[in-house]
Structure 1
Amino acid sequence: MTQASKAAWPDGLLLTYYGDDFTGSTDSMEAMTAAGVPTLLCLDAPTPELLARFPDVRCVGLAGSSRGRSPQWMDDELPRAFSSLAALGAPILQYKVCSTFDSSPQTGSIGRAIDIGVAHMRGNWSPMIVGAPRLKRYQAFGNLFAAVDGEGYRIDRHPTMSRHPVTPMNEADLRVHLRRQTERDIRLIDFVQLKSGDVRLETGEDTPVVMIDVLDEETLAAAGKLVWEARGEGVFTASSSGLQYALAAHWRANGLVPQTPSLPKASSVDVIAAVSGSCSPVTAAQIRWARDNGFRVERLDLPRALDASSREAETERVVEIAARAVAQGISPLVFSAEGPDDPAVTGFDGIAANAGLNRAEAARRVGETLAEVMRRLLDRAPLRRVVVAGGDSSGEVASKLGIAALSVAAGMAPGSPLCRAWSDDPARDGLEIVLKGGQIGGVSFFGEVRAGGPQAAP
């Protein structure tokens, strides 16, 4: 942080946020930390005692799991979460959503989160920034696009998000998509207005949602300027990490943060351990790479893991395999599915029904099992660095390890930094952990985490 920023910024925190899953929460932490804004991600509601240990922090996040939850769960849980963050006094309170905006009226309703959240801030508008060019996400005239392997797709034609097993994106116009989830007024400031400087911000007593197009660095900085300068007495925003990137771009243009975002580089380690609950084709390719490049890759048998009578035996089976691999200097990877066409995915409803569970209960059981695998493995093997792939899985695993908070230790892939765990348990304090979303990282991602980052071609 520069001396200029200390003089120009208000005292105290600049932003607080609730992440709708753990991988997205670390994505936002990475964006702020790289910009020069010290950030702490809490796994439970932040306490004064915890925050007192980090006096230089200017941004505080709270990692959550609402992306996979019902509106009733949000009604029960989000008011307390938002209240705990609003009490910290930052001028911006964010509900951090995924940059692919996957949500529905029944699951992970962004509209319901907005309706709950606006009551916790005094502002008369609720800005929304979803586009994040660094993550290859772009919004134009309210429509969301995402690039994969150098090719751009409208989000409703995206090879993964259009086929998401829980919240498939079947509408690219985010105004239309969000109107299925809230009756709140939804407006748009498009990129033509941003580039021309002809922006008329209309607010209202009903706190309208104002979507802001972002498709390049110019519109990113302009969106950040608009939100920061019109924050008033405090605003609530449902946004992706595009908000963090936008604010940082505006602050950078005004000399408040370093001109070049940066993070420390990680060292290599001999062995890592990974668990994956991701169904993404990106993660599937990464699992195949790991199998072909010396990792001990083992599938979690879902029928056995979901059946109460065999769950313990299946958990112990994969833990023993992973622990033996670590003892041999081999990195283990335990996974539940290998891409969207895996029978474990296409037949998941039947597997769940045979175990007497509905889809949501079964999905949570898978995450809980992977969490138990990682917990037991850490208790038995001398591991310094671990990886969790999949948004829901990351939440289940991280929350079961006795970790109080995370900070960024080093850069890795955009959106998935290497994090340092803070814990009262000496066995967990200092653990390095990467929480990877399904769409994040190159094909050799697991190898890069072990090596400390991308390696130059020989």
Structure 2
Amino acid sequence: MIKPNLRPLLGCIADDFTGASDLANNLVRAGMRTIQTIGIPAESQKLNADAIVISLKSRTISKHEAIKQSLQAYEWLKVQGVEQFYFKYCSTFDSTPQGNIGPVTEALMDEIFGEGKGFTIVCPAFPEAKRTIFNGHLFVGNELLSESGMRNHPLTPMTDANLVRVMQAQTQRVVGLVNYDSVRAGPDEIRARFHALQNQGIGIAVVDVTCNQDLESIALATADMPLVTAGSGLAIGLPNNWRIRGLFDLNDSSDMLPPASGYQAVISGSCSQASNAQVRDFCQRGLPTFVIDPLADVSHVNIAQQAIALAEKHLKNGPMLFYTTSQPDIVKSIQEKLGVIKASEHIEKILAEIAKGLVQNGVRQLVVAGGETSGAVVQALGIKQMTIGPQIDSGVPWMSASSPCCHDETIHLALKSGNFGSIDFFTKSFTQLSNLHHE
């Protein structure tokens, strides 16, 4: 007989909003009742769920602020009584040579184990999204991370695929490797490798992954580990640890959402190769679009007003796309004129203002592409908590929430990491949502 679960089992800290929904999606698929919060909830709030995912916007902020926010999230989850903590970052390990992945990991380890003590893993792999690790090197599809489109990321260009080297540059603890041979040998061998590394004075280990079976083995090997750090892939296997112990059973209704209503819109601020292809697909279908030129006007409100005015004419006929998505050379030109940080903030303000206007004008189904864009949009809409629904594509679920911008009516949201999703993602998302309650 399954014991009633009186407290959350897993407490997650995600460094951006799309990554948080990606993680929550995998937990829900594994049967865990999961709630995603926007920022750290109110101190007295108690959430009834198997897993809680706290969404932070800490990936590209200062190292010190990222540590501060992450520790605050940890303290809140600790009060909830969770058994295991999960620091979630992107499957492409988005960071700079200074952080923020390494510094946040170390700060959490110091808090949980004591300064300079303890052991945890680094595992951004997600084979379903074509992110794998071999001999410590991260691959995107068949390309090394450093040879993929991530080398041109406007905020966190990734020019080194060696995760041991990248992580070591960001941490004081010694970083080691659990290679493919150990992982393929199964959970017992992985645990043995963990112990061997710890005996060598290594505090953090990058773990190779080439398939979902590897993730399941790693999950079993980390069942008693107080802190894991990973992309969303590891969440596929972790819930089984509590199922084995009889602490929760598969929840067949864990991804149920209310019926969708209202107008449909897409906002894309991502400059990834995948998002560029998705924008082209939407345009080629002859659907209405609004292209945002960040250099056209330094007053983001004016651009937003133009976008909303056009939306009022087209939304009643179907989905509309609003985008700044551009090729790397155009992005570089904008950054040279405005500065990297100012350009990013300027674009986020424009897209956030458009999102508010769309919701105020009846949009209740909204797809957002890009991690930074998603964070700006969700915060602008005043959303505090989201319920996770069914998966659209690997790593991207539909979610429902309420927003004060529409008198707390239900909004359905899909927050897509830039590199995720099929080429027709923008249009098929709405088709899937409309079919949910007609099957």
Secondary structure of the residue aligned to 1:198 is helix
Secondary structure of the residue aligned to 1:37 is coil
1:410 counterpart = 2:390: yes
Task: Work out the percentage of aligned pairs sharing the same amino acid.
Answer: 24
TM-score by length of 2: 0.88
Number of aligned residues? 425
1:373 counterpart = 2:336: no
Which residue of 61, 68, 92 maps to 2:60?
68
Counterparts of residues 194-209 of structure 1 (less than 5 Å): 194-196=183-185, 197-199=188-190, 200=192, 201-202=194-195, 203=198, 208-209=203-204
Which residue of 215, 232, 240 maps to 1:241?
232
Q: What is the identity, as a one-letter code, of the residue corresponding to 2:358?
A: L
Counterparts of residues 227-376 of structure 1 (less than 5 Å): 227-228=222-223, 230-231=224-225, 235-248=226-239, 257-258=249-250, 263=255, 271-305=263-297, 307=298, 310-327=299-316, 329-341=317-329, 343=330, 345-352=331-338, 358-376=339-357
Aligned to 1:85: 77
Aligned to 1:145: 139
Q: How many angstroms apart in 2 are the aligned matches of 1:204 and 1:422?
A: 50
Aligned to 2:31: 36
Q: What is the identity, as a one-letter code, of the residue corresponding to 2:78?
A: A
Counterparts of residues 9-48 of structure 1 (less than 5 Å): 12-47=7-42
- The Cα of 1:195 is off from its aligned counterpart by 2.5
1:156 counterpart = 2:115: no
Cα distance 1:261–1:217, how it changes in 2: closer, same or farther (>3 A)?
farther
Q: What is the identity, as a one-letter code, of the residue corresponding to 1:399?
A: Q
- The Cα of 1:260 is off from its aligned counterpart by 9.7
- The Cα of 1:428 is off from its aligned counterpart by 3.6
Aligned to 1:173: 162
- The Cα of 1:81 is off from its aligned counterpart by 2.5
Cα distance 1:86–1:254, how it changes in 2: closer, same or farther (>3 A)?
closer
Aligned to 2:119: 125
User: Which shifted more, 384-393 or 245-254?
Assistant: 245-254
CA contact (8 A) 1:19 1:25 kept: yes
- Gapped runs of 5+ residues in structure 1? 353-357
Secondary structure of the residue aligned to 2:397 is strand
Cα distance 1:312–1:383, how it changes in 2: closer, same or farther (>3 A)?
closer
1:105 counterpart = 2:89: no
- The Cα of 1:253 is off from its aligned counterpart by 7.8
User: Which shifted more, 186-195 or 217-226?
Assistant: 186-195
- Gapped runs of 5+ residues in structure 2? none
1:398 counterpart = 2:398: no
- The Cα of 1:189 is off from its aligned counterpart by 1.7
Counterparts of residues 208-219 of structure 1 (less than 5 Å): 208-219=203-214
Q: How many angstroms apart in 2 are the aligned matches of 1:411 and 1:198?
A: 33
CA contact (8 A) 2:179 2:207 kept: yes
Q: How many angstroms apart in 2 are the aligned matches of 1:78 and 1:64?
A: 8
Cα distance 1:439–1:377, how it changes in 2: closer, same or farther (>3 A)?
same
Q: How many angstroms apart in 2 are the aligned matches of 1:280 and 1:401?
A: 24
CA contact (8 A) 2:31 2:252 kept: no
Secondary structure of the residue aligned to 2:363 is coil
Q: How large is the RMSD of aligned CA atoms in angstroms?
A: 2.8
Q: How many angstroms apart in 2 are the aligned matches of 1:128 and 1:138?
A: 13
- The Cα of 1:41 is off from its aligned counterpart by 0.6
Q: How many angstroms apart in 2 are the aligned matches of 1:294 and 1:68?
A: 35
CA contact (8 A) 1:287 1:338 kept: no
Q: How many angstroms apart in 1 are the aligned matches of 2:166 and 2:38?
A: 30
Cα distance 1:27–1:254, how it changes in 2: closer, same or farther (>3 A)?
same
Cα distance 1:273–1:125, how it changes in 2: closer, same or farther (>3 A)?
same
Aligned to 1:433: 413
Q: What is the identity, as a one-letter code, of the residue corresponding to 1:398?
A: V
- The Cα of 1:302 is off from its aligned counterpart by 0.4
Cα distance 1:253–1:439, how it changes in 2: closer, same or farther (>3 A)?
farther
Q: What is the identity, as a one-letter code, of the residue corresponding to 2:313?
A: R
- The Cα of 1:296 is off from its aligned counterpart by 1.1
